Chains A and B, each alone.
Chain A
Amino acid sequence: MASKYYFINIVRFIMLVLAQVLICNNINFWGFINPIIYILFLYWYPIKQNRAVFIIISFFLGFTVDIFSDTLAFNTAATLTIAYLRPTIMRFCFGVNFEFQSFRLNAAPRIQQLTYLALLIVIHHTVFFTLEVFNFDNFLLILKKILVVSIASLFLCILLSSLFSVKKEN
């Protein structure tokens, strides 16, 4: 059973990185909108695992995407931050009961799942674009990018998560 979890997570890691760098980085909708979908790895990652391991895996996830897209190391810092903040975000969205053994993400109300995903995306994009622009003179540019790209990422992540959660239950 444990080896099955490893296998699923390794496959997810590779598929999400490839989908991100080969497909999503080339969308360029309106010239600058490239949705970020590898956040789904953190969204799906089992809750009751060792937290230090989770942070290290997130670091490597961000780092891999960074090397591919020549954005050293904005993705790493952003992914690391949401990996560290994930328990806090989950407590905010699901209340204290997410720590119980019986809690399952799929069983939670849809609106709570969406809030959880949206918070992950918004925090990630805030760190990412702040580091990319690296200049507070362009504060409006940062805000515009965070807002527009977050909406695009959220839209695509919802589509993907509903597409793949059906298969998981079978």
Chain B
Amino acid sequence: MQQIINFIFRNKNLLLYLFLLFISLAFTIQSHSYHQSKFFNSANWLTGGVYKTTNGIFSYFNLEKENQKLVDENMRLRRIIINNEYNEEVAIDSTALDSTLLDYTIVSAKIIKNSYSNLDNYITLNKGSKDGIKQDMGVITPNGILGIIENTSGKFSRVQSILNRKSNLNAKLKNTDNFGSLIWDTKDFNTVQLIDIPRRIPIKVGDTILTGAASSIFPENIPIGTIKSFGLDVSKSSYTINISLFNDMSNLKNVYIINNTNRVVLEELESPVTNGK
């Protein structure tokens, strides 16, 4: 007994080191396999608060550019509305705006911490569960897709960016129904990869890629990017396509969080099928 105690005393630094290293490795392995822990991420009150405060100062420096972006987007949307009214001559019916009848509801948010240089990137937003944000909602920018809500706290939420090795989204070629998986090979932050598009599909550089219909997170036809280059994968049966994103991932501020109101119903419908496999 005496010897055991002596041993512990002699090697207390080594034991302490190994114990703490074990804790940190446990966190690391957990973060590589599944969602990170609920509290220890940048969406908690402390880190979120610090980022919000500094963001409150630094956001003034590019207000003009952000305003211009938003005006451009408004202009585009305004053009769509005006043209639709003249084409279809249908007045806006107030019942159609009842939020309980809409398929998707939208919440606006601001990025308070952006990241694009790591291998697994996460973005922190200034809206949280108090604003009705929940896990697995989609996040888009005026130009295109951004990621999926992964964690929320009261006032902040964390987005798993498409620039993340765990990201895997459904995407398709414009005007076709051929869809594949959107992944990131970690090399360039403005280029993502689309895999599993069959070889027989005719594609060419410059084609537009949109979100597909097989996702319960994003609505169909949200823009993603254009084809930059493509090649066959190892099996020679499908394409690996490099897509240059419409978003400049290094310069983002205002985003929209999309909530699919039918999502619960959809997942209930789909779950027996996946269980039956």
B24 touches A55 (CB 8 A): no
Q: Given contacts A67-B40, A68-B42, A73-B27, is CB(A31)–CB(B21) below 8 Å?
A: no
B27 touches A56 (CB 8 A): no
The number of chain B residues with a CB under 8 A from chain A is 38
B16 touches A56 (CB 8 A): yes
Q: Given contacts A52-B12, A72-B31, A77-B25, is CB(A59)–CB(B20) below 8 Å?
A: yes
A106–B234 Cα distance when bound, in Å, is 57
Counting CB contacts under 8 A, is A28 at the interface?
yes
CB contacts (< 8 Å) of A34 on chain B: these are 117
- Which chain A residue shows the least CB distance to B12? A52
CB contacts (< 8 Å) of B158 on chain A: these are 70
CB contacts (< 8 Å) of B23 on chain A: these are 73, 76
CB contacts (< 8 Å) of A52 on chain B: these are 12-13, 16
Interface stretch among A4-12, A113-121, A130-138? A130-138
Q: Given contacts A28-B117, A74-B28, is CB(A68)–CB(B20) below 8 Å?
A: no
CB contacts (< 8 Å) of B14 on chain A: these are 84
CB contacts (< 8 Å) of A31 on chain B: these are 117, 188-189
- Which chain A residue shows the least CB distance to B32? A134
Q: Given contacts A72-B28, A81-B21, is CB(A51)–CB(B13) below 8 Å?
A: yes
A148–B115 Cα distance when bound, in Å, is 19
B24 touches A76 (CB 8 A): yes
A contacts with B: majority SS = helix
Counting CB contacts under 8 A, is A165 at the interface?
no
Q: Given contacts A68-B47, A70-B41, is CB(A62)–CB(B24) below 8 Å?
A: yes
A22–B250 Cα distance when bound, in Å, is 15
Counting CB contacts under 8 A, is A45 at the interface?
no
Q: Which chain A residues in 73-88 approach chain B with CB under 8 Å?
A: 73-74, 76-77, 80-81, 83-84
CB contacts (< 8 Å) of A103 on chain B: these are none
Q: Given contacts A67-B41, A72-B41, A74-B28, is CB(A55)–CB(B13) below 8 Å?
A: yes
Counting CB contacts under 8 A, is A161 at the interface?
no
A131–B24 Cα distance when bound, in Å, is 11
- Which chain B residue shows the least CB distance to A79? B24
What distance in Å separates the Cβ of A152 from its nearest Cβ neighbour in chain B? 12
1/0 per residue, CB under 8 A from A, across B1-44: the answer is 00000000000111011001101110110111000110011101
Chain B residues with a Cβ under 8 A of chain A: 12-14, 16-17, 20-21, 23-25, 27-28, 30-32, 36-37, 40-42, 44, 46-47, 50-51, 54, 115-120, 122, 124, 158, 188-189, 250
- Chain A to chain B contacts (Cβ below 8 Å), 24 pairs: A28-B116, A28-B250, A33-B117, A55-B20, A59-B20, A67-B46, A68-B50, A68-B51, A69-B118, A70-B36, A70-B42, A70-B120, A70-B124, A71-B120, A72-B36, A72-B41, A73-B28, A76-B20, A80-B24, A81-B21, A84-B13, A131-B28, A132-B119, A133-B119
Which 6 residue pairs spanning A and B have beta carbons closest together?
A: A73-B27, A76-B24, A73-B24, A70-B122, A77-B24, A84-B17
Given contacts A18-B50, A52-B13, A59-B20, 9 further A-B contacts (CB under 8 A): A28-B117, A34-B117, A55-B20, A67-B46, A70-B158, A73-B31, A76-B23, A80-B21, A81-B21
